[in-house]
Amino acid sequence: MIRISKRLELPPYLQWLIRASSIIFALIIMSVFLLALGHNPIKVYSAMVTGSFGTFFRFRKTIELMIPLSITALGILVAFKMKFWNIGAEGQILMGAFAATFFALKFAYLPRPLLLILMAIGGSLIGGLWALIPAFFKVKYATNETLFTLMLNYIAIKWIIYLQYGPWKDPQQAGFPKIPDFSVNATLPTLGGIHVGWLILIALVIIAHIVMNKTKFGFEIAVIGESKNTAKYAGMSVNKVILSTLFISGALGGLVGMMQTSGVHGTLSTSITGGIGYTAIIVTWLAHVKVHLIPVIGLLFAVLIQGAFFIQTAFQIPHSVADILQGMILFSALGSEFFINYRLHLVKNRRAKRVVK
């Protein structure tokens, strides 16, 4: 028989050793799968790294994936820290992109710096307001925020499709309906060959670390996440903090929407997210809701995704194989948390032995 008991505490180095072992375990299992497909796992893994960093073009694509993943994960982190399960980042990104596109199309004549600032403010504001909808119903009627935020994603998608096929359809586009491309004034400038979003990411990580660890607001978020009753007893305005936190969470998603339309795609469509909002949830979870780990995990996932595109061509491996690898890593990481918090004991079933005798 197996008995499970709660661990009192594990040293940090042992915790990370268990987590690293879980990733290695996932790679070993995936290697067996690749062997079954007739591929050398070592060559495939090395090709994924080459496909992510082998040339400047590949490196740029990897960083362009890391930026939205990490910023979206920061937004999810502040909500998760409060135990508010925001699954609506996809919708918040799209609504932020919608607001940014409005300014890009209607005010293209403005100077570039002013237009980009308006796009960033508009995207962040609408993304934040979109996240406030489930937050309001949560504090007012105790609704389930997981389902609420998830369902809002589909409303946002349908809204963008409506704009693409309706009011914002490019009249000069003869084929598949699309929204007009942005003017030069509405595109993010580059620095070092990559759009300036990487500078924004660095600034946001520093700010988030300070806010979450050094300010009263960050302390209130942590206390509410542990116990709302304790927060109320301490005199904290719980509902106000929840609403403020979700606005920030959605605003970061909206900012990502602006950056994706302005810095990467140059127009608005439902494909600008590419599943970033969902993948960022995994990034946040694997980072253990710690700000400084978000860019590291974000980069690793960007390598995984970008590398998958490369091996798809180099080895004729379906892109779904990368999704399987992501799933293996996630499940292994979740399993590692069990072994960090609990321990297994093998217990001899003496009663069964007595019955046999």
Task: Give per-residue pLDDT as tens, 61-96.
Answer: 999 999 999 999 999 999 999 999 999 999 999 999
Instruction: Please report, as a single letter, which amino acid is at residue 125.
Output: L
Residue 168 lies in a domain: yes
The tokens describing 248, both together, are: 């920030």
Axis crossing angle, helix 294-314 with helix 197-214, rounded to the nearest 10: 140
Residues near 73 by beta carbon (within 8 Å), at least 6 away in sequence: 280, 281, 283, 284, 287, 294, 297, 298
What is the DSSP secondary structure assignment for residue 168, as one 8-state letter? Answer: T
Q: Could you give the number of structural domains in the chain?
A: 1
Asked if pLDDT for residue 316 goes beyond 50, the answer is yes
Mean residue pLDDT across the chain: 89
Q: pLDDT tier at 349 (50, 70, 90 boundaries)?
A: low
CA distance 35 to 50: 20
Give residues with Cβ within 8 angstroms of 229, minimum separation 6. Answer: none
Range of the domain at 186: 61-302
Give the model's pLDDT for residue 337: 79
On the question of pLDDT at 350 being above 70, the answer is no
Give the model's confidence band at 320: pLDDT under 50 very low, under 70 low, under 90 confident, else very high: confident
37 falls within a domain: no
Note whether residue 35 is domain-resident.
no
- Residue 349 resides in a domain: no
Q: How far apart are CA 139 and CA 134, in angstroms?
A: 9
- The reply to whether 242 falls in a domain is yes
Task: Look at strands 190-191 and 194-195 and give their pairing.
Answer: antiparallel
- H/E/C letters for each residue in 248-284? HHHHHHHHHHHHHHHHHHCCCCHHHCCCHHHHHHHHH
Q: Would residue 181 count as lying in a domain?
A: yes
| 3-class SS string, 87-150 | CCHHHHHHHHHHHHHHHHHHCCCCCHHHHHHHHHHHHHHHHHHHHHHHHHHHHHHCCCHHHHHH
Q: Residue 259: inside a domain, yes or no? A: yes
pLDDT value of position 351:
56
pLDDT at 141 over 70: yes
pTM (predicted TM-score): 0.90
**% of the chain at pLDDT higher than 70:** 97
Q: Identify the pLDDT of residue 355.
A: 46
* 112-126, 172-186, 203-217: least confident range: 172-186
pLDDT digits (tens, 9 = 90+) for 289-310: 899 999 999 998 899 888 888 8
Q: Is 234 domain-assigned?
A: yes
In degrees, rounded to 5, the angle at the alpha carbon of residue 350 between the alpha carbons of residues 347 and 351 is 120
